């Protein structure tokens, strides 16, 4: 194998889940593959999308749904995108201002003590505000095509709240979420690490729900690039994937999590206080200021549970939510969405470094309420629970049936 | 035509607005950030929104497309097929644009071209300014090093400069870099560098 190029420019957004890229660069995994990588911190997801499309970036830290949307020409011109690797599972959360959290506790003290918390109390608060003629609550997500948008909408809808009708939903970049909450411009948000923890640490917000409480192993960021670039640089891409896989493994090791927090916190990376970054890496962050950090390394997962495998069923799931919320038509091409994800490229790179890979490209989501073992793999892989909060099961072979089964959706509202 | 410019860099926004003044009829409004964008969009009804790529407000604009009737579409959707290269050039120049209404491709193009040329001009001015500052700083450093040599070794100006130049040539480094070292060493020898 010979590398078609050794210089790469990769973009990222200041979030803890950019860790595999940052670690691969700073811990020398890219260099060990003979790659000289420039990491470019970008200001917006739209910029990442457009700069990858224009060839100004060779690849980037991307929102999984954004990669699928771009490939299908939803919200931008279609550009063939390839996703050969996922960057993480979990890591996002839904947070509300402490004032809203206190109001919820007053309305439903029992429900606020239960885990996972449903949005039922929030539904009652919304009704009460409506009766008083108050303005709707405002929530923010990070991008229209993001797991955060679908996570918040799903959780609200499971309690009968329609995000387009009952609240006001806006888009705010991750590093600005907390200042907007502090300023009272938004009442809550769904964002990735470390920004929920930052709100809790300052006593401004309370976490209502971890992503993993909504969907056991929530797909999130991916490594994406144009298909044209991937096809022109197969060996360079394979080398980059090996480096990213090793970086993910390094970032997941409990003994490295402290050093990872130090690295990520630096101003040129995430740029937030180190103790805040640490809280969602060495454990699960406290829900409320003053609570202890619980002892778990599953709040943000980079490598375990086949976290970096690009499941084609994830790409299809993202498109089901685009249809559910009116971003894509029912005639959307589910097969084309699945083709954006390239488990074949992943398996080749994983085999090079002796990492086990799943044999199947698709999996049914929501079947496991407890940890399980994936036997259908080059060697058995321990997996995390993947159940949804409402017990729904997603069969990637029947995406429209899945969409139609939701009681609350834009599709249902227009029927 | 109404154009809204969103740019945290006010000088650059002014430059773009001034450039756009040549396109008639035109109304331009500037905003530093997204705080006022929704209000501006409602009240001002912009046809085109020009956004600095470095502004994080782009994602908020993309969010507006779904949440409101304003529905700004990114320029990459508007021009890409008919005019390949234009969107790429805009992204390269650091300009993003959103088209709100059914504006003709020509008019969008003229706005975008002005914005791109002004962004590029500003970038060049900034580079020139930075270089001028660096030149000035290095000239001052060389003057100081020269002064040190003249004082410590009792040399005239020309001889002192000759020593600096020879040191630089021997080391294969710029004179300013050698001058910085010399000043630093002198400080250490005098005990001032501790």
Across the interface, whether the CB atoms of A327 and B65 are under 8 A apart is answered no
Asked if the C-beta of B87 comes within 8 angstroms of chain A's C-beta atoms, the answer is yes
**Is residue A24 within 8 Å of residue A260, measured between CB atoms?**
no
Across the interface, whether the CB atoms of A77 and B77 are under 8 A apart is answered yes
- Work out the minimum CA distance from B109 to partner chain A, whole angstroms: 17
Q: How confident is the model at residue A349 (pLDDT cuts 50, 70, 90)?
A: very high
Dihedral of the alpha carbons of B184, B189, B191, B192, in degrees to the nearest 10: -20
Any idea which of A137-141, A176-180, A299-303, B133-137 has the lowest mean pLDDT? B133-137
Asked if the C-beta of A168 comes within 8 angstroms of chain B's C-beta atoms, the answer is yes
Residue of higher predicted confidence among A193 and B105: A193
What does the pLDDT look like over B4-20, one tens digit per residue? 888 888 888 888 888 88
**Is residue A10 within 8 Å of residue A40, measured between CB atoms?**
yes
- Chain A and chain B share a number of CB contacts under 8 A equal to 79
What does the pLDDT look like over A115-156, one tens digit per residue? 999 999 999 999 999 999 999 999 999 999 999 999 999 999
Asked if the C-beta of B58 comes within 8 angstroms of chain A's C-beta atoms, the answer is yes
Name which of A44, A168, A169 is nearest B56 (Cβ-Cβ).
Answer: A44
Across the interface, whether the CB atoms of B74 and A50 are under 8 A apart is answered yes
- Please determine, for residue B193, whether its predicted confidence score (pLDDT) is greater than 50: no
Q: Which residues of B touch A56 (CB under 8 A)?
A: 91-92
Residue B80 has what pLDDT? 45
With CA atoms as reference, the chain A residue closest to B79 would be A77
Q: Which residues of A touch B59 (CB under 8 A)?
A: 44-46, 142-143, 171-173
Transcribe A315-363 into DSSP letters. HHHHHHHHHHTTSS-TT--HHHHHHHB-HHHHHHHHHHTT---BS-S--
Name which of B56, B77, B92 is nearest A176 (Cβ-Cβ).
Answer: B56
Across the interface, whether the CB atoms of A47 and B53 are under 8 A apart is answered yes
Q: Report the topology of domain B2-127.
A: D-Maltodextrin-Binding Protein; domain 2 (3.40.190)
pLDDT average, residue stretch A373-401: 97
Residue of higher predicted confidence among A399 and B191: A399
For chain B, the domains span 2-127, 131-189
- Please determine, for residue B82, whether its predicted confidence score (pLDDT) is greater than 60: no
Q: Which residues of A touch B92 (CB under 8 A)?
A: 54, 56
Residue B120 has what pLDDT? 86
Residue B30 has what pLDDT? 81
Of A48, A44, A59, A300, which Cα lies nearest the Cα of B55?
Answer: A44
Residues contacting residue A99 through CB under 8 Å, at least 6 positions apart: none
Work out the mean pLDDT of chain B and round it to a whole number.
80
pLDDT average, residue stretch A327-355: 97
Across the interface, whether the CB atoms of A55 and B88 are under 8 A apart is answered yes
Name which of B59, B76, B87 is nearest A45 (Cβ-Cβ).
Answer: B59
Q: What percent of chain B has pLDDT over 90?
A: 16
For chain A, the domains span 7-89+218-271+301-359, 93-214
- Please determine, for residue B113, whether its predicted confidence score (pLDDT) is greater than 90: no
Residue B57 has what pLDDT? 83
Across the interface, whether the CB atoms of B63 and A170 are under 8 A apart is answered yes
**Is residue A44 within 8 Å of residue B63, measured between CB atoms?**
no
Of A203, A179, A96, A83, which Cα lies nearest the Cα of A139?
Answer: A96
Across the interface, whether the CB atoms of B88 and A51 are under 8 A apart is answered no
Residue A307 has what pLDDT? 98
**Is residue A404 within 8 Å of residue A386, measured between CB atoms?**
no
What does the pLDDT look like over A350-371, one tens digit per residue? 999 999 999 999 999 999 999 9
With CA atoms as reference, the chain B residue closest to A172 would be B60
**Is residue B112 within 8 Å of residue B86, measured between CB atoms?**
yes
- Please determine, for residue B62, whether its predicted confidence score (pLDDT) is greater than 80: yes
With CA atoms as reference, the chain B residue closest to A145 would be B63
Q: What percent of chain A has pLDDT over 90?
A: 92
Residue A29 half-sphere exposure, CB side, CA atoms within 13 Å? 23
Task: Tell me which range, A6-15, B27-36, B173-182, is most confidently predicted by mean pLDDT.
Answer: A6-15
Residue of higher predicted confidence among B116 and A257: A257
Instruction: State ipTM.
Output: 0.86
Among B32, B58, B88, pick the best mutation site for testing chain A contact (most A Cβ within 10 A): B58
Residue B83 has what pLDDT? 61
Across the interface, whether the CB atoms of A46 and B57 are under 8 A apart is answered no
pLDDT average, residue stretch A368-397: 96
CATH of B131-189, one of 1.10.10.10, 3.30.470.20, 1.10.3720.10, 1.10.1240.10: 1.10.10.10
Phi and psi (nearest 5°) for B87?
-65, -40
With CA atoms as reference, the chain B residue closest to A175 would be B56
- Please determine, for residue B67, whether its predicted confidence score (pLDDT) is greater than 80: no
CATH of A93-214, one of 3.40.190.10, 3.90.550.10, 3.65.10.10, 3.30.540.10: 3.40.190.10
Q: Which residues of B touch A173 (CB under 8 A)?
A: 56, 59-60
**b (16+ CB within 10 A) / e for A238-263:** bbbbbbbbbbbbbbbeeebbebbbeb
Q: What percent of chain A has pLDDT over 70?
A: 99
Topology match between the domains A7-89+218-271+301-359 and A93-214: yes
With CA atoms as reference, the chain A residue closest to B95 would be A47
- Please determine, for residue B192, whether its predicted confidence score (pLDDT) is greater than 60: no
- Please determine, for residue B118, whether its predicted confidence score (pLDDT) is greater than 90: no
Residues contacting residue B7 through CB under 8 Å, at least 6 positions apart: B13, B16, B30, B32, B50, B51, B52, B55
CATH architecture of A7-89+218-271+301-359: 3-Layer(aba) Sandwich (3.40)
Among B6, B9, B59, pick the best mutation site for testing chain A contact (most A Cβ within 10 A): B59
With CA atoms as reference, the chain B residue closest to A40 would be B54
What does the pLDDT look like over A233-253, one tens digit per residue? 999 999 999 999 999 999 999
Across the interface, whether the CB atoms of B60 and A56 are under 8 A apart is answered no
Q: Which residues of A touch B53 (CB under 8 A)?
A: 43-44, 47, 50
Q: How confident is the model at residue B87 (pLDDT cuts 50, 70, 90)?
A: confident
């Amino acid at each position: 194998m010979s590398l078609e190029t050794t210089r790469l420019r990769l973009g990222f957004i200041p979030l803890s889940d950019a860790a595999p890229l940052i670690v691969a660069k700073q811990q020398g995994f890219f260099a060990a593959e003979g790659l000289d990588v420039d990491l470019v911190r970008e200001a917006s997801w739209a910029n990442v999308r457009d700069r990858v499309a224009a060839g100004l970036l060779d690849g980037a830290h991307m929102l999984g749904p954004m990669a699928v949307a771009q490939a299908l020409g939803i919200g931008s011109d279609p550009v063939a995108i390839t996703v050969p690797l996922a960057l993480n599972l979990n890591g996002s959360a839904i947070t509300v201002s402490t004032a809203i959290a206190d109001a919820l506790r007053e309305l439903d003290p029992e429900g606020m003590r239960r885990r996972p918390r449903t949005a039922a109390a929030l539904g009652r608060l919304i009704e009460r505000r409506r009766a008083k003629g108050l303005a709707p609550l405002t929530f923010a997500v990070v991008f229209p095509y993001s797991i955060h948008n679908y996570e918040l909408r799903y959780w609200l809808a499971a309690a009968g709240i329609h995000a387009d009708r009952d609240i006001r939903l806006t888009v705010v970049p991750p590093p600005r979420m907390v200042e907007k909450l502090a300023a009272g411009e938004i009442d809550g948000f769904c964002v990735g690490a470390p920004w929920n923890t930052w709100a809790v640490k300052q006593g401004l917000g309370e976490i209502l729900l971890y992503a993993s409480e909504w969907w056991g192993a929530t797909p999130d960021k991916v490594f994406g690039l144009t298909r044209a670039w991937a096809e022109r640089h197969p060996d360079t891409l394979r080398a980059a994937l090996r480096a990213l896989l090793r970086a993910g493994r390094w970032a997941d090791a409990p003994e490295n999590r402290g050093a990872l927090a130090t690295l990520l916190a630096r101003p040129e990376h995430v740029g937030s206080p180190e103790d805040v970054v640490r809280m969602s890496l060495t454990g699960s962050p406290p829900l409320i200021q003053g609570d202890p950090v619980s002892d778990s390394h599953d709040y943000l997962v980079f490598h375990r549970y086949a976290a970096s495998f690009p499941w084609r069923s994830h790409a299809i799931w993202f498109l089901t939510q685009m249809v559910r919320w009116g971003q894509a038509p029912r005639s959307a091409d589910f097969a084309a969405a699945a083709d954006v994800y390239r488990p074949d490229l992943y398996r080749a790179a994983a085999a090079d470094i002796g990492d086990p890979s799943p044999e199947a490209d698709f999996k049914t989501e929501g079947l496991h309420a407890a940890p399980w073992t994936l036997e259908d793999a080059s060697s058995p892989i321990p997996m995390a629970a993947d159940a949804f909060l409402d017990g729904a099961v997603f069969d990637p072979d029947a995406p429209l049936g899945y969409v139609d089964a939701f009681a609350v959706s834009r599709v249902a509202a227009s029927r | 035509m109404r154009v809204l410019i969103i740019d945290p860099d006010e000088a650059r926004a002014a430059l773009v607005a001034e450039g756009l003044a040549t396109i008639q009829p035109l109304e331009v409004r500037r905003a530093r950030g997204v705080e006022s964008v929704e209000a501006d969009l409602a009240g001002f009804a912009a046809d085109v929104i020009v956004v600095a790529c470095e502004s994080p407000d782009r994602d908020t604009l993309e969010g507006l497309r779904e949440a409101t009737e304003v529905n700004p579409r990114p320029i990459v959707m508007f021009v890409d097929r008919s005019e390949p290269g234009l969107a790429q050039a805009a992204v390269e120049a650091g300009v993003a644009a959103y088209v709100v209404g059914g504006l003709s491709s020509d008019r969008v193009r003229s706005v975008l071209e002005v914005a791109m040329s002004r962004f590029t001009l500003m970038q060049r001015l900034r580079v020139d300014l930075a270089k001028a500052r660096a030149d000035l700083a290095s000239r001052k450093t060389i003057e100081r090093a020269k002064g040190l040599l003249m004082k410590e070794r009792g040399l005239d100006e020309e001889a002192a400069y000759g020593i600096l130049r020879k040191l630089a040539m021997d080391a294969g480094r710029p004179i300013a870099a050698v001058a910085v070292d010399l000043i630093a060493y002198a400080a250490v020898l005098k005990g001032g560098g501790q």
